[in-house]
Structure 1
Amino acid sequence: MRAAFYQGARTFFQGHLDHRVPKGGIIGHETFGEIVEAPPASAFKGGDRVVVEPVVFCGSCRACAMGASYLCYKLKVLGVDLPGGMQGYWAVRSSRLLRVPDTISDDHAALLEPLAVAVHDVARAEVKPGDAVLVFGGAHHRRRGARLGHRQYCRDPRRARPRESLPDVRPRARHARQPTLRAR
């Protein structure tokens, strides 16, 4: 691993990740690295610069069969549920790797995964200029995505009452289009 990005509380094991990150687990899902060694049949070779797509899905459950692997019943995240990139060497399946061009710096390459999440979220929600959007959560990439909008009304909900800081608008609800899955 050559670069990784982590922004968060001083104590990592808190909130809803307590049950997912094993004690002593290796974090790091927003990573960039250089291939040291690859199998002969691989599309990658030593020296290739890559980022890791950290979501691992089973490919055989109902959600995966419907093309909704992001809703996989057995979904795991490298660096959360499985060992991540905050280590010197890391073996990752080539299907989870994306080549990074030399025109992108190491530091910027480490930010490609969170940027991709923000771009994907906005695209799935079909946000258009003039739409009112409310972003929940404190993930840095979602905040960055919100900042791409025209205005930001409530930067820190601890310091402002959200209702008073939002404009008097009646936003239309927009939801990402997702397939309907029935519980088994």
Structure 2
Amino acid sequence: MRAARYYGEGDVRIEDVEPDDVGPNDVRIDVAACGICGSDLHEYAAGPMTIPTEPHPVTGEALPFTIGHEIGGTVAEVGENVDVAVGTTVAVNPIVWCGSCRPCERGDYHLCENGGFVGLSRNGGFAENVVVSAEKVVPVPDAVSPELASLVEPFSVGLHAVHQADLSAGESVVVFGGGPIGNTVAQAARAANAGPVYLSEPQDARREAAERVGVEHVIDPMETDPVEHVRAATGGVDVAFEVAGIEQTLNQAIDVTRAGGRTTIVSLFEESATVHPTDVVTRERTVNGTAAFHGGPRSQEEAGVTARNFADGTLDPEALVTARIALEDIVEEGFERLLDPDSQEMKVLVQP
């Protein structure tokens, strides 16, 4: 089969590979679509970062291997111990965990001390099919297409961020960064009946995506100071989400909250950032982080909710999709285009 294999910085090759075998507890999925994630872009542009160059402690794999972890498709083959029916439309919970460290023992598999991801620590979904353990399969309702099932993973990240922020109905929210994950956070906040919801994003296409799903207040920070604007309207929001990954937006996310407000950091930072702790202390603010979403048996708590919200229209995954490309075009039409600072692409789905 054809697959996109990661060899290192700027080096992704489309190759013919032998499909992985299906073990007794495994599932083979024919991949309808696999989304290009920001973490894939980081690895392509500056990696290997999280991709192992030596055998991974859980998977035993190291580069080169097939990347891609935002996977949707149809079950094609199952192992003898698996009760998922062939033909079922599924998403994939890509989190890899060891099961024996302290976070795993308390059920926080997404915080595993030895963990990783399908597509970042072992073969993933930029391929015609992918084999995963049955516990990673998330069946989705009939109303969700195999293609859009690939977006269950990033939308679950947004839902988990809202859970980590302990967001309540009626609380005011601002999201700094309107990329794919920033937009999933904004949609999840709206689904939680937060309001008003603000989003600050310099790129036109990303602001437009937020407007399409009903985000009430969309700000271009190149024209309007988002902190001054939001504070003038609200006196300081209850919850801010940092989803841009730069020092400026981190400080803005802290500064814009009210006394006792909360800031949740969602993005991964390529460089260190400086904040003034006094700004947190004197206003009794809280700053926390959020990582992926619940893995293991608990993955259904968030991925399952996300899939149902796709089906009933509470969340709109199609609003994020700006391109669908063939596997053979993943480098030029995928990675390179998304990394172009002038590109208006949002979410690119690769259709093997």
TM-score range, shorter chain: 0.7 to 0.9
Q: Residue 51 of structure 1: CA displacement?
A: 1.0
Q: Which residue of 2 aligns with 1:64?
A: 104
Q: Residue 88 of structure 1: CA displacement?
A: 0.8
Partner Cα separation in structure 2 for residue 165 and residue 114 of structure 1: 29
In structure 2, runs of 5+ residues without a counterpart are 1-30, 53-62, 203-219, 237-257, 263-285, 291-352
Which of residues 8, 14, 22 in structure 1 aligns to 2:45? 14
Partner Cα separation in structure 2 for residue 98 and residue 137 of structure 1: 28
Partner Cα separation in structure 2 for residue 39 and residue 10 of structure 1: 33
Letter in 2 for 1:34: T
Greater share of strand: 2
Letter in 1 for 2:196: H
Which of residues 119, 138, 145 in structure 2 aligns to 1:98? 138
Q: Residue 162 of structure 1: CA displacement?
A: 4.6
More displaced, 75-84 or 131-140? 131-140
Please say if 1:5 is aligned against 2:45.
no
What does residue range 43-54 of structure 1 map to in structure 2 within 5 Å?
A: 43-54=83-94
Q: Residue 50 of structure 1: CA displacement?
A: 1.3
Please say if 1:35 is aligned against 2:83.
no
Residues 51 and 109, structure 1, Cα contact 8 Å, conserved in 2: yes
Residues 35 and 48, structure 1, Cα contact 8 Å, conserved in 2: yes
Residues 174 and 197, structure 2, Cα contact 8 Å, conserved in 1: no
Which of residues 118, 121, 124 in structure 2 aligns to 1:78? 118
In structure 1, runs of 5+ residues without a counterpart are 179-184
Greater share of helix: 2
Which of residues 166, 179, 200 in structure 2 aligns to 1:154? 200
Partner Cα separation in structure 2 for residue 155 and residue 29 of structure 1: 25
Q: SS where residue 132 of structure 2 aligns?
A: coil
**Per-residue Cα deviation, 1:43-73 (whole angstroms, up to 9, x for no partner):** 1232222111000111101111122222111
Structure showing greater radius of gyration is 2
Q: Which residue of 1 aligns with 2:299?
A: none
Q: Residue 25 of structure 1: CA displacement?
A: 3.6
Q: Residue 118 of structure 1: CA displacement?
A: 1.0
Instruction: Report the CA distance shift for 1:30/1:110 in structure 2 as closer, same or farther (over 3 A).
Output: same
Partner Cα separation in structure 2 for residue 176 and residue 94 of structure 1: 32
Letter in 1 for 2:45: Q
Count of matched residue positions in the alignment of Structure 1 and Structure 2: 177
Identity of aligned residues (%): 28
Q: Which has the higher contact order (CA 8 A, sep 6+)?
A: 1
Partner Cα separation in structure 1 for residue 81 and residue 41 of structure 2: 42
More displaced, 3-12 or 48-57? 3-12
Partner Cα separation in structure 1 for residue 33 and residue 80 of structure 2: 26
Instruction: Report the CA distance shift for 1:176/1:161 in structure 2 as closer, same or farther (over 3 A).
Output: closer
Letter in 1 for 2:197: R
Instruction: Report the CA distance shift for 1:150/1:26 in structure 2 as closer, same or farther (over 3 A).
Output: farther
Partner Cα separation in structure 1 for residue 41 and residue 113 of structure 2: 31
More displaced, 67-76 or 102-111? 102-111
Instruction: Report the CA distance shift for 1:14/1:126 in structure 2 as closer, same or farther (over 3 A).
Output: same
Q: SS where residue 123 of structure 1 aligns?
A: helix
Under a length normalisation based on structure 1, what TM-score does the superposition of the two structures give?
0.78
Residues 119 and 125, structure 2, Cα contact 8 Å, conserved in 1: yes
